[in-house]
């Protein structure tokens, strides 16, 4: 076990002597099972853990310190909320004081970014073995020599999530605090044990640093054909980024976070973080088989007798998750880098059931939909509520964008033009009616669409122009039923379709108003027309 008493955290104010630095998964299993209530091993060998009260991110509790060096680059507002330096230090000291009460701590040193020109060194300091194993999976794991010469990190995440913030501290809105300080290059977590906060903290850091260097950081997955043609998949949670990028006929570059540079794309992470709800070996075999020894299952329900996980059980949360090293996917491409994308796919889960399963976008429409970042979420578990709600998240990753969305949009537009990439909008949501009436697009049909995109055949078929949204919709695709490509034909009530399409179009128009000042006339004109 990596028990390096000579390894000190004194420069952080931490006096704990027993520190496990980059402990192996097996050692973290043992420590987690011995010291953390609720941990167990699944029948496939994955470590199961509970994240406590918080089973998802807490975006309303995220703060960025307002400092002179980064102030003019940050898009301040509801996403990036200002925090005073003094309050950050109060919370930091609270976190350090808590960590100093623990008998031992875990340190994970790793890299973010497979391209060595742009990678950063990240250090995680935490008190839960579950958190250490999670980030051991999600960061790029250094070799023995790289760890030996690691030196000081570029950024440090101090995770004291088991201890609450003081809600009466100025600037706090709850007992949860997720605070990033670019000047100190530190990220401090209080009041939430949800491991995804660390993963997205690293992504937020990269979303600030990469545009400073003229590179485009993206909330997307990426894969590559056997002849080297790359596709990237933008999309919010639940749209299919992870599932669709894990294609047995293509090499996986990564499932969630990438950077597009002058050489092509590289994965930021060393692992994948897949949704586990309704997971099965039949529908998602690559992901299902990746859940084994070394993986971390979060907040799942399992049979105590045989330790089989019930992936359909959402009694704890619908946001059940699994993290695993990227090499657990059999056709992962190591190192996780690829050339310039040939196809850019924007995924949306339209719960209104009016968007076509696939549409081809012009460059201006691509910018409009990228800035909009649309998907729809169905209502929660409240009885009788079936109306979906639209979700617009700029650049398909609003909670993690530090600069104004126009910054990322400009970088994307430059790359699309320079490398002549084709942009597609793919709807993985509903057909034949909205949520509660129609049915979700089958994974089989969506994969058939992607196959046609990747083999080039879809770009050659005849299209029709959508009368409201203006994009070009293919009139045929592999063996898909032709009526599926024309959403209106799948609805029994055509008038209801027309009304719902107009309703969705208005949501788009109203949302885009806040971006109009920074958009060209061509991009503003690329939206829906009523």
pLDDT at 40: 97
Residues 205 and 354 in one domain: no
Residues 6+ away with beta carbon under 8 Å from 244: 221, 233, 347, 428, 446, 447, 450
Percentage of the chain beyond pLDDT 70 is: 97
Token look-up 């994240």 returns: 51
pLDDT at 518: 83
Helix axis angle, 494-512 to 363-372, nearest 10°: 80
pLDDT in tens, 397-447: 999 999 999 999 999 999 999 999 999 999 999 999 999 899 999 999 999
Residues 6+ away with beta carbon under 8 Å from 94: 160, 163, 165, 166, 190
pLDDT in tens, 460-487: 999 999 999 999 999 999 889 988 999 9
- CA-to-CA distance for 486 and 469, rounded, in angstroms? 13
pLDDT at 3: 44
Position 520 in a domain:
yes
Annotated catalytic, 237?
yes
Q: Is 528 exposed, middle or buried (0-12, 13-18, 19+ CB in 10 A)?
A: buried
Annotated catalytic, 321?
yes
Position 334 in a domain:
no
pLDDT at 371: 97
State the chain's mean pLDDT as an integer: 95
Annotated catalytic, 304?
no
CATH number at residue 191: 3.40.449.10
219, 333, 340, 407: the active-site residue = 219
Structure confidence at residue 1 as a pLDDT band (50, 70, 90): very low
Position 286 in a domain:
no
The H-assigned helical ranges of 390-526 are 405-419, 443-454, 487-490, 494-512, 521-524
Residues 364 and 509 in one domain: yes
Structural domain containing residue 170 = 10-27+56-212
pLDDT in tens, 290-331: 999 999 999 999 999 999 999 999 999 999 999 999 999 999
Annotated catalytic, 241?
yes
Question: Per DSSP, which regions of 308-421 are E strands?
Answer: 309-310, 321-325, 337-338, 341-348, 358-361, 374-377, 389-392
61, 66, 255, 256: the active-site residue = 256
Number of domains in the chain: 2
pLDDT at 7: 86
Q: Which of 172, 190, 212 is the last residue of a domain?
A: 212
CATH number at residue 393: 3.90.228.20
- DSSP character for 140? B
Which DSSP string do the residues of 226-280 spell out, in sequence order? TTS-EEEEE--TTSSHHHHH--TTSEEEESSEEEE-SS-EEES-SEEEEE-TT--
Q: Which of 212, 242, 258 is the last residue of a domain?
A: 212
237, 348, 406, 490: the active-site residue = 237
The H-assigned helical ranges of 363-426 are 363-372, 405-419
Annotated catalytic, 256?
yes
Residues 518 and 369 in one domain: yes
62, 321, 333, 407: the active-site residue = 321
pLDDT in tens, 46-83: 999 999 999 999 999 999 999 999 999 999 999 999 99
Position 491 in a domain:
yes
Residues 518 and 372 in one domain: yes
H-run or E-run covering 463: strand 463-465
pLDDT at 171: 86
Judge contact between 271 and 237, C-beta under 8 A: no
Judge contact between 260 and 215, C-beta under 8 A: yes
177, 221, 242, 375: the active-site residue = 242
Judge contact between 247 and 358, C-beta under 8 A: no
Annotated catalytic, 69?
no
pLDDT in tens, 84-94: 999 999 999 99
141, 200, 404, 454: the active-site residue = 200
Annotated catalytic, 57?
yes
92, 119, 141, 241: the active-site residue = 241
Annotated catalytic, 62?
no
pLDDT in tens, 111-132: 999 999 999 999 999 999 999 9
- CA-to-CA distance for 251 and 227, rounded, in angstroms? 10
CA neighbor of 392 nearest in space, from 64, 79, 61: 79
Structure confidence at residue 385 as a pLDDT band (50, 70, 90): very low
Structure confidence at residue 384 as a pLDDT band (50, 70, 90): very low
Position 362 in a domain:
yes
- CA-to-CA distance for 140 and 374, rounded, in angstroms? 31
pLDDT at 68: 95
Determine the longest span between alpha carbons in the chain, in angstroms: 73
Position 294 in a domain:
no
- CA-to-CA distance for 65 and 85, rounded, in angstroms? 6
Position 134 in a domain:
yes
Q: Which of 197, 212, 227 is the last residue of a domain?
A: 212
Position 461 in a domain:
yes
pLDDT in tens, 325-382: 999 999 999 999 999 999 999 999 999 999 999 999 999 999 999 999 999 986 443 3
pLDDT at 6: 65
């Amino acid at each position: 076990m990596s028990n390096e008493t000579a390894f000190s955290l004194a420069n952080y104010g931490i006096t704990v002597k027993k520190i496990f630095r980059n402990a192996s998964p097996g050692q973290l299993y043992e420590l987690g099972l011995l010291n953390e209530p609720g941990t167990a091993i699944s029948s496939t060998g994955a470590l199961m853990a509970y994240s406590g009260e918080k089973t998802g991110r807490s975006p309303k509790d995220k703060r960025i310190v307002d400092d002179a060096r980064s102030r003019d680059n940050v898009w301040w507002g509801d996403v990036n909320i200002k925090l005073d330096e003094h309050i950050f230090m109060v919370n930091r000291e609270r976190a350090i004081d808590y960590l100093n009460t623990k008998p031992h701590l875990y340190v994970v040193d790793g890299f973010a970014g497979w391209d060595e020109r742009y990678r950063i060194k990240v250090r995680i300091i935490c008190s839960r073995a579950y958190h250490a194993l999670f980030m051991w999976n999600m960061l790029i794991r250094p070799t023995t020599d790289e760890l030996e010469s690691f030196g000081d990190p570029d950024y440090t995440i101090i995770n004291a999530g088991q201890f609450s913030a003081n809600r009466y501290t100025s600037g706090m809105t709850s007992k949860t605090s997720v605070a990033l300080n670019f000047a100190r290059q530190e990220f401090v977590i209080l009041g939430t044990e949800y491991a995804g906060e660390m993963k997205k903290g690293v992504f937020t850091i990269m979303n600030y640093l990469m545009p400073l260097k003229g590179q485009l950081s993206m909330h997307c997955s990426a894969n590559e054909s056997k002849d080297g043609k790359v596709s990237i998949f933008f999309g919010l949670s639940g749209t299919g980024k992870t599932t669709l990028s894990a294609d047995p006929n293509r090499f996986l570059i990564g499932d969630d976070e990438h950077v597009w540079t002058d050489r092509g794309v590289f994965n930021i992470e060393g692992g994948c973080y897949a949704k586990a709800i309704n997971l099965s070996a039949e529908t998602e075999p690559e992901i299902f088989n990746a859940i084994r020894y070394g993986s971390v299952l979060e907040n799942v329900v399992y049979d105590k007798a045989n330790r089989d996980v019930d992936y359909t059980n959402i009694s704890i949360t619908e946001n059940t998750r699994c993290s695993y090293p990227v090499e657990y996917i059999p056709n992962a491409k190591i190192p996780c880098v690829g050339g310039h994308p040939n196809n850019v796919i924007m995924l949306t889960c339209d719960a209104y059931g009016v968007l076509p399963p696939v549409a081809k976008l012009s460059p201006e429409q691509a910018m409009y939909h990228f800035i909009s970042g649309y998907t729809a979420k169905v209502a929660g578990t409240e009885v009788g509520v079936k109306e979906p709600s639209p979700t617009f998240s700029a650049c398909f990753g609003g909670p993690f964008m530090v600069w104004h969305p126009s910054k990322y949009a400009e970088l994307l537009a430059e790359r699309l033009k320079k490398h002549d990439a084709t942009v597609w909008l793919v709807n993985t949501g509903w057909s034949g009616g909205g949520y509660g009436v129609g049915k979700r697009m089958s994974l089989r049909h969506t994969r058939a669409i992607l196959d046609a995109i990747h083999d080039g055949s879809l770009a050659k078929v005849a299209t029709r122009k959508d009368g409201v949204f203006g994009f070009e919709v293919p009139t045929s695709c592999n063996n898909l039923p032709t009526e599926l490509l024309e959403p209106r034909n799948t609805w029994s009530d055509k008038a209801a379709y027309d009304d719902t399409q107009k309703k969705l179009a208005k949501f788009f128009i109203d949302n885009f108003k806040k971006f109009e000042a920074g958009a060209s006339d061509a991009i503003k004109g690329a939206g829906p027309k009523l």
